[in-house]
Structure 1
């Protein structure tokens, strides 16, 4: 259980990091080029590591149903939507909305036993847990003002102003005005 917990924490951190990197590439190249690069590099890395670690066994797919392979198409939506969300909302708010959405979706899928999942009871405790996370996200967003300034602490508007001051396109300047 501890190992699964740690792996999930690492995955969450990597998703946040990847999302920020993707938005920076998107600022230079556009959504479709970024999505192609992200998924293409991911394919190359997965194939290489899979062959090294599992060899030919990684292609044992005789028990897989055809609809399982649509996850790659879903990945296009994930990358594109997160990049656009960051552009419009800033990284922290976009990622927190994404995580809340994932949690609600997973809870519905689990509680209904859809897509071949083992059905898990929707208990009041699980529902309250999801609501607490969503409420925390709202508190974070609504309380996201810099102390004493009345201005948002971060987000796309602040980043665009920083980029403009540095003479860079929006989405490619860090909070200190340097290119990233």
Structure 2
């Protein structure tokens, strides 16, 4: 249950963050805005690290495979794509497309067992759920 609630909170925070970042970009520009997002996130993480577990920073060097360390680079790309899509489509349409893309890619990662994730069995009901989500997008975007 806690995972479900945290996932809902994550989705809500991502939507609010996308709107905030899009507004900041209008004044400060894309890369200043994106840099601020990453710098402020780093600052929060550093402060929380000081007051909590104090995991070893050197452990980063032991991560294998090394490409797993590209999460921050991907994060900068996520911030850029969210800002651009929200500016072009509006928050609701952008979030809807972002979420369906997340679902499709996450299911493919599970199906093929990519990036160290345990391989999942193909299930038609999950494909049906994705198809239903795509139909939902079409309905949501349909304008009279």
**TM over 0.5: same fold?**
yes
Please tell me the root mean square deviation across aligned C-alpha atoms, in Å: 1.3
- Structure of larger gyration radius: 1
- Inter-partner Cα distance in structure 1 for 2:23 and 2:77: 18
The Cα of 1:84 is off from its aligned counterpart by 0.6
Matched-pair contact (CA < 8 Å) for 1:107–1:122: no
- Give the distance between the partners of 2:38 and 2:56, measured in 1 at CA: 19
Q: Which residue of 1 aligns with 2:2?
A: 3
**1:131-158 residue CA offsets vs partner (Å, 9 max, x unmatched):** 1112112211114xxxxxx6xxxxxxxx
Q: Do structure 1's residue 88 and structure 2's residue 88 form an aligned pair?
A: yes
CA distance in 1, matches of 2:133, 2:78: 21
The structure-2 alpha-carbon separation of the partners of 1:58 and 1:5, relative to structure 1 and needing over 3 Å to count, comes to farther
In the alignment, the residues of structure 1 paired with residue 36 and residue 128 of structure 2 have an alpha-carbon distance, to the nearest angstrom, of: 39
TM-score normalised according to structure 1 size = 0.75
Q: State the partner residue of 1:21.
A: 20
* 1:13, distance to aligned residue in structure 2 (A): 0.4
TM-score (norm 2): 0.93
Q: Find the aligned partners of 2:115 and 2:23 in 1 and give their Cα distance.
A: 34
Match of 1:100 in 2: 100
Query: What are the equivalent positions in structure 2 for 1:101-140 lying under 5 Å apart?
Result: 101-140=101-140
After the TM superposition, list the runs of 4 or more consecutive aligned residues in structure 1 that deviate by more than 3 angstroms.
60-63
- Three-state SS of the structure 2 residue aligned to 1:11 is helix
Show the 5 A alignment for 1:27-176.
27-55=26-54, 57-59=55-57, 60-61=59-60, 63-65=62-64, 66-143=66-143
Q: CA deviation at 1:48?
A: 1.1
Alpha-carbon offset, residue 28 of structure 1: 0.9
Deviation (angstroms), 1:7: 0.5
Structure 1 gap segments, 5+ residues each: 144-149, 151-180
Deviations 1:60-86 (A, max 9, x none): 336412211111111111000110111
Conserved? CA contact 1:100–1:133, under 8 Å: yes
Aligned length: 142
Deviation of the 1:12 alpha carbon? 0.5
More helix by share: 2
